[in-house]
Amino acid sequence: MDNRELRECAAVALSVLDLTNLKDDCTAAEIETLCARAQTAHGATAAICIWPRFVAQARAIFGENGLIRIATVVNFPSGDLAVDEVVRETVQAIADGADEIDLVIPYRRFKEGDEAAVAGMVRAVRAVCPQSVLLKTILETGELKDPQLIRRASEIAIAEGSDFIKTSTGKVAVNATLEAADIMLQVIRDSRRNVGFKPAGGIGSVADAALYFRHASAIMGENWIMPSTFRFGASGLLNDIDAVLSGTAFSTPQAGY
């Protein structure tokens, strides 16, 4: 990839980035910094992704202009909460100002054969999300491992009304992979529904982002990548995007969420 292509890729990556801080010890001061970082000299990120306890703070900072969306997580990261508890989390997050809900499926129960647990969880959360609130369903593909399980989880999540399917929480040993992306994108294509894709965890450079862009374009078409259909969940990726767009560094693969 030459410098021009790298800069073009960086600009698109910025526009589809969910700038994330889901550290267990995240503080209000770090959220303030995150909100400021999301508004870069090169443009804004698509969203920030934060713990529910910080949603009201972020909404107060951003106001109601809607330029940068606020995503939060529920049933996160374990996927083990009861449906009614997850619904309460979701309702409160939306009341606090969340624009997007990233829901972890009960992936351990799903691995044991309980498809109904996944369908019921997604359906219940979808039911309390207004049309304006995106539901991004996290499959935790690194824990599912089996391609058939990843495929089936994707199908269920889409059938129950998910706006996006997302690979990972970023909290397990294996997070986003191109192999999982391939399966999930094929399911989206075959569903013929307007569903987006979000790889998350381990995407730390524009070079990494380019691999996912190529993969998505090959399956979904050249004009498919936009904030309404594609997001990256990452914290470190913005550093490399800034470096590339500022002309201060070349992109090299990096670790991290």
Residues classed as catalytic: 102, 166, 198
Q: Is the distance from CB of 167 to CB of 199 less than 8 angstroms?
A: yes
Q: Give dist(CA 150, CA 223) in Å, integer.
A: 25
- Residue count of the chain, please give it: 257
In whole angstroms, give the CA distance from residue 2 to residue 10: 12
Query: Residue 218's CB: how many other CB atoms inside 10 A?
Result: 11
* β-sheet with 134-138: strand ranges across: 196-198, 164-166, 134-138, 100-104, 69-74, 47-50, 17-21, 232-234
Strand partners, 69: 47
Strand (E) or helix (H) holding 91: helix 83-96
Residue pair 181/215 in contact (Cβ under 8 Å)? The answer is yes
Rounded to whole angstroms, the maximal C-alpha distance in the chain is 51
* Distant-in-sequence, close-in-space partners of 61: CB < 8 Å, separation ≥ 6: 32, 35
State how far the Cα of 133 lies from the Cα of 254, in Å rounded to an integer: 32
Tokens in use for 155?
């199908």
